Amino acid sequence: MMNSYIPIVVTIVIGLGFGMIMLKLSEWLGPRRPTREKLTTYESGMEPISSARDRHSIKFYLVAMLFILFDIEIVFMYPWAVSFQKLAVQGFVAMILFMVLLFAGFIYVLKKGALKWE
């Protein structure tokens, strides 16, 4: 029983080992030319103008959560598309219902003004 897990463990160990070796090689062999510009904080293409401890608008977090929510819902469509022919009419109706609910959620978010930046 445990013998069937040996290839998985070996693959994980080889993958982790390869990743660590490549990280160390790039650290040892890579060019090091630090400048003041390269060492500054960088966030979303904007220069930092205040402390990292400042409060952010709730809109920032709301947009991030909405992105994750809609992104995860879109991911559910991929397996459906792969097995579309096997699911027949029931699968089609279920996905249409899913898309309608997704679209209704999107319209609700738009009407609430959650995606408007002021």
Which amino acid would we find at residue 43? E
pTM over 0.75: no
* DSSP, res 49: -
Which amino acid would we find at residue 83? S
Sequence spans of domains, the chain: 1-32, 55-118
Phi/psi for 95 (5° steps) reads: -70, -35
* DSSP, res 2: G
* DSSP, res 50: S
Q: What is the pLDDT of residues 10-33, one digit of tens each?
A: 999 999 999 999 999 999 998 888
- pLDDT for position 78: 87
- pLDDT for position 48: 66
- pLDDT for position 80: 87
- pLDDT for position 47: 66
Contact 80, 95 (CB under 8 A): yes
Secondary structure class of 40 (helix, strand, coil) = coil
| pLDDT score of 75 more than 90 | no
The larger pLDDT score, comparing residue 60 to residue 8, is at 8
Please, which pLDDT band fits residue 104 given cuts at 50, 70 and 90? very high
Contact 41, 48 (CB under 8 A): yes
Q: What is the pLDDT of residues 87-102, one digit of tens each?
A: 889 999 999 999 999 8
Contact 65, 72 (CB under 8 A): no
55-118 fold: Methane Monooxygenase Hydroxylase; Chain G, domain 1 (1.20.58)
| pLDDT score of 51 more than 80 | no
